[in-house]
Amino acid sequence: MSFSSEVKEELSHVDGHENHCMIAELAAIIGLCGKIKCEDGRYSLILHTENVSVARRFYSLIKDVFHFQPQVSTTQHEFLKKNRFYMISIEESGQTLKILKTAQLINNLGQMDEEFSVKDNPVLQRTCCRRAFLRGAFLSAGSITDPEKNYHFEIACISSEKAAQIKELFEFFGLEAKIVLRKKYYVVYLKEGAMISDTLNIMEAHIALMKFENVRILKDVRNSVNRRVNCEAANINKTVSAARKQIEDIEYIKNTVGLERLSENLRDIAYARLEEPDATLKELGEKLSSPVGKSGVNHRLRKLSQIAQDIREKGHL
C-alpha cells in the first residue's frame, strides 16, 4: 500500500465528530469527485472511485448523517483484474436534494451552487468543519508522496474556482499552497515538509503524521551528517594539498640553496614538515624544540613558500 493510500485509509476511520463536521466533509467529497444528475427535475448523486477508503467514508457519512443506506456496486477493469471500481449512488430525488441542500451545494431554487466561498459558506463557519472539509477534499481528490522520496502533497480540482477554494482553506490555517494547471486539472499543492506535516495534523491523520515526522527527522539527521562529512572531507583535501605544496617548496629549497642557509626557526619547521608530512599545524608546532602555536607554524611555512618562490624567480636567496 502506498503512503497516500495509508493516509486515506486512516482518514476513512476518523470518527467522533458532530453532524456539522460530517456535512462539511461530505460537501468536499461530493464537490470534488461526486457526479450530480438532474433529469426531468429529478436529482441523483453518484460517487465513482477505485479507492475503497473513499467509498467507505462516503457511504458511512451518508448513513450517519441522513440515516439511509446508499446503493453500492462494484465493477472490475476488463484488462486490469486487480483494479476494482466502487460506485455509491443515491437515486431517490428527495434524498439527493436533502443531501445537496444540507451540504450547501444547491440553493432553494434547485440551482447548483458549488463555487462557494470558504469565508461565507455556512458549512465552513467552524474551524473543525474546515478541518473536515480539507479531509474530504484529500480523500476524494488528493495524493501525498512517500516522504522517503520527496515532499509533495496535492489536491486536484476540475475548475480554477474549486482550486481557489482549497487554496483559501489552506490560507485560513496559515499554509501557503500554490496552484498549477496540469492537463485538465487545477492542482493545489504543497512542497514544504513542515506545511505537509501541519496538513496531516489538520486532517487528523495522526499515525501518518508520526511516520512522516520520523522520516523527516531521519532525513534531516542524514543530511546534516552528509554535510559534516563533506565539509570535513573538503578540509582534509585542503590540508593535504597545502602540506604537499609545503613539502615541494621545502624540497626545492633543499635541492637548490640548501636548508642550512635558512634561519634556525625556519630550518626547524622545514625538517619537521619533511619528517611528518601528514601532521597538522598544531602537531608540527608541538614537535619543535621550542613549541609554537598554529599561527606561528603557519607563518613560518608561508615564509618558506615565499623563499622558494623567490629562488624560482631570482635563482638565489
pLDDT tens track for 152-178: 999 999 999 899 989 999 999 999 999
Same domain, 17 and 71: yes
- Residue that wins the pLDDT comparison between 76 and 45: 45
Highest mean pLDDT among 30-34, 119-123, 154-158: 154-158
Same domain, 35 and 153: yes
pLDDT in tens, 63-72: 999 999 999 8
| More confident of the two residues 161 and 113 | 161
**Can you tell me the distance from the alpha carbon of 105 to that of 310, in angstroms, rounded to the nearest whole number?**
87
Inside any domain, residue 219? no
Of 25-39, 45-59, 69-83, 185-199, the one with minimum mean pLDDT is 69-83
pLDDT of residue 55: 93
Q: Do residues 139 and 268 share a domain?
A: no
pLDDT (0 to 100) of residue 75: 83
> Is the per-residue pLDDT at 190 higher than 70?
yes
Range from 68-72, 86-90, 195-199, 278-282 carrying the lowest mean pLDDT: 278-282
pLDDT of residue 287: 84
Query: What is the tally of structural domains in the chain?
Result: 2
Q: Tell me: do 261 and 200 sit in the same domain.
A: no
**Residue 220 binned pLDDT confidence (cut-offs 50, 70, 90):** confident
Q: For 285, left (φ over 0), alpha (ψ -120 to 50), or beta?
A: alpha
SS (H, E, C) 74-125: EEECCCCCCCEEEEEEECCHHHHHHHHHHCCCECCCCCECCCCCCCCCHHHC
Q: Under a CB-based contact definition with an 8 Å cutoff, are residues 246 and 306 in contact? A: no
Residue 80 has pLDDT above 70, yes or no: no
Percentage with pLDDT > 70 across the chain? 92
Would you state the pLDDT for residue 289? 81
Q: What is the pLDDT, as a whole number, of residue 317?
A: 64
Decide if 209 is inside a domain: no
Tell me, yes or no, whether 210 lies in a domain: no
Domain co-membership, 149 together with 51: yes
Residue 13 structural domain: 3-204
Say what the pLDDT of residue 211 is: 95
Single-letter residue type at 91: E
Query: Which letter does DSSP use for residue 148 in this model?
Result: T
Provide mean pLDDT across the span 131-149.
Answer: 95
Span 116-130, average pLDDT: 79
Domain-located, residue 212: no
**Full-prediction pTM beyond 0.85?**
no
Dist. CA 40–CA 105, nearest whole Å: 19
The CATH number that applies at residue 127 is 3.10.28.10
- Are 189 and 271 in a shared domain? no
Residue that wins the pLDDT comparison between 201 and 223: 201
- Secondary structure (3-state) at 39: strand
C-alpha to C-alpha distance for 284 and 247, rounded to whole angstroms: 13
Least Cα distance to 56 among 11, 23, 94, 16 occurs for 11
Among the listed ranges 79-83, 190-194, 253-257, which one has the minimum average pLDDT value? Answer: 79-83
Same domain, 185 and 244: no
Q: How confident is the model at residue 232 (pLDDT cuts 50, 70, 90)?
A: confident
Q: 186, 204, 222 — which closes off a domain?
A: 204
Q: What is the mean pLDDT of the chain?
A: 88
* Strands ordered across the beta sheet of 42-49: 34-39, 42-49, 84-90, 71-76
Last residue of a domain, one of 156, 187, 204: 204
User: What pLDDT does residue 138 have?
Assistant: 97
186 within some domain: yes
pLDDT at site 191: 95
